[in-house]
Amino acid sequence: MLTDDQWSVLEPLFQKERTGAGRPQIHSDREVLNGVLWVLRTGAAWADLPDRFPSSATCYRRFSKWVKDGRLRKILESLARHLEDNGLINLEECFIDGTFVVAKKGAQKLGKTKRGKGTKLMVIADASGLPIAVYTDSANPHEVRLVQATINEIVTLGRPRRIIGDRAYDSDPLDEALASQGIELIAPHRKNRKKPATQDGRLLRRYKRRWKIERLFAWLNKFKKAITRWERCVERFTALVHLAFSMILLR
């Protein structure tokens, strides 16, 4: 359940311009959002919403409307930029990683892998491990190919000075592409690398702090609906991740 303090932050982001047309809402956005958060945290089906919340049809319909108008991404963006304005987002070094999300139903942007059908969830975190970008795609593409699309989803006004990844991101073309945007790539070289080294020990000292994005994924695990994909529509699944990360920023 949202606390009064949390809702005081979120409420302005749910304000609507009333035109006088249409039926008035029986349930407030706060009531509905609490229902959506219950589904997000428990991973339960929408139909299993307890009676203390608005009906599952009401919650799902309002959630779908928020997905369509981009509301949940805008909330993450607003929270991240507020922290950025107050010096609480550090873009000096950021971390990137991807994780495989199992899909339980046929859906958009699915790929077959040895682990089954699923989606690749890409995330960028700031120097403190706070989420600043979310991107979802089929599980098939290599993570290197998804880096630019993930950068394009960054919600802060500023851009990372450095991006730190694991060996999967050891790519000279990626290094050059990021450098052209003023971003320094830091990633350990693959053991089978044949080209000359581009990383030195001083740069790689920053890699030791990569545990911060792993901690972010551990926090995300508390939101069951965001770590197993039941939504057929990729926009709905991504919106659930946006909401989960917004709750992390609200803490």
Check residues 32 and 190 and name the one with the higher pLDDT.
32
The amino acid occupying position 222 is K
Rounded to 5 degrees, φ, ψ at 16 are -115, 150
Predicted confidence (pLDDT) per residue in 84-98, tens digit: 999 999 999 999 999
Mean predicted confidence (pLDDT) in 166-186? 93
Lowest mean pLDDT among 14-18, 72-76, 108-112, 178-182: 108-112
Q: Name the residue ranges covered by the structural domains of the chain.
A: 89-231
The amino acid occupying position 107 is A
Q: Which tokens sit at 45?
A: 């089906």
CB atoms within 10 A of CB 93: 20
Check residues 113 and 226 and name the one with the higher pLDDT.
226
Rounded to 5 degrees, φ, ψ at 157 are -70, -40
DSSP the chain: ---HHHHHHHGGGG-----S-SPPPSS-HHHHHHHHHHHHHH---GGG--TTSS-HHHHHHHHHHHHHTTHHHHHHHHHHHHHHHTT----SSEEEEEEEEEESS--SS-EEETTEEEEEEEEEE-TTS-EEEEEEEESSS-GGGGHHHHHTT--SSS--SEEE--GGG--HHHHHHHHTTT-EEE-PPPTT--SPP---HHHHGGGGGGHHHHHHHHHHTTSGGGTEE--SSHHHHHHHHHHHHHHHHH-
Closest to 117 (Cα-Cα) out of 105, 129, 135: 105
Check residues 202 and 137 and name the one with the higher pLDDT.
137
Closest to 133 (Cα-Cα) out of 150, 113, 117: 150
pLDDT of residue 157: 98
Please report where in the chains the tokens 């949940």 appear, as a residue: 72
- When the pLDDT of each residue in the chain is averaged and rounded to a whole number, the result is 89
pLDDT of residue 51: 96
- State how far the Cα of 141 lies from the Cα of 131, in Å rounded to an integer: 22
Q: Which of 54-58, 99-103, 105-109 has the highest mean pLDDT?
A: 54-58
- State how far the Cα of 114 lies from the Cα of 174, in Å rounded to an integer: 26
pLDDT of residue 156: 98
Closest to 183 (Cα-Cα) out of 211, 152, 210: 152
Closest to 169 (Cα-Cα) out of 154, 140, 189, 151: 189
Mean predicted confidence (pLDDT) in 184-191? 81
Predicted confidence (pLDDT) per residue in 34-71, tens digit: 999 999 999 999 999 999 999 999 999 999 999 999 99
Check if CATH label 3.30.420.10 holds for domain 89-231: yes
Burial label for 136, CB within 10 Å (0-12, 13-18, 19+), is buried
pLDDT of residue 18: 47
Based on C-alpha coordinates, what's the Rg of the chain?
Answer: 19
